[in-house]
Amino acid sequence: MVLKIFEEPRCLIDTSDEGGLQAVQEYIEELKSLDKPLVIIAIAGLYRTGKSYLMNRLAGKTEGKGAVITPHVCDVMGVHSSV
């Protein structure tokens, strides 16, 4: 069974109506239902500084073609961020 949270990239941290950061409780509850260990990795950086390369290396991919991990862009505090 694949949980809904793993079907596509999700922003676990979002902006509140007041402009601060907050966890998205729906996704947190789904994560709490897991019965196996889970590692969440966050990588931030400037454009073209190796974020995708690092994620591919962590995923065990060593070739540059056909990236395993596709960035998902979301808006965090008015800044477009890739997750």
Q: Is the pLDDT of residue 15 over 80?
A: yes
Q: At 25, is the pLDDT very low, low, confident or very high (cuts 50, 70, 90)?
A: very high
Residue 1 in domain? no
Residue 49 in domain? yes
CA distances, 42 to each of 1, 13, 49, 65, 74 (Å): 25, 11, 15, 22, 13
**Separation of alpha carbons 82 and 51, rounded Å:** 9
Residue 26 in domain? yes
Residue 4 in domain? no
| Domain containing residue 19 | 9-82
Residue 3 in domain? no
pLDDT at 81: 60
* Backbone dihedral angles phi then psi of residue 27, each to the nearest 5 degrees: -75, -35
Residue 69 in domain? yes
Residue 71 in domain? yes
Domain tally for the chain? 1
**Separation of alpha carbons 40 and 57, rounded Å:** 15
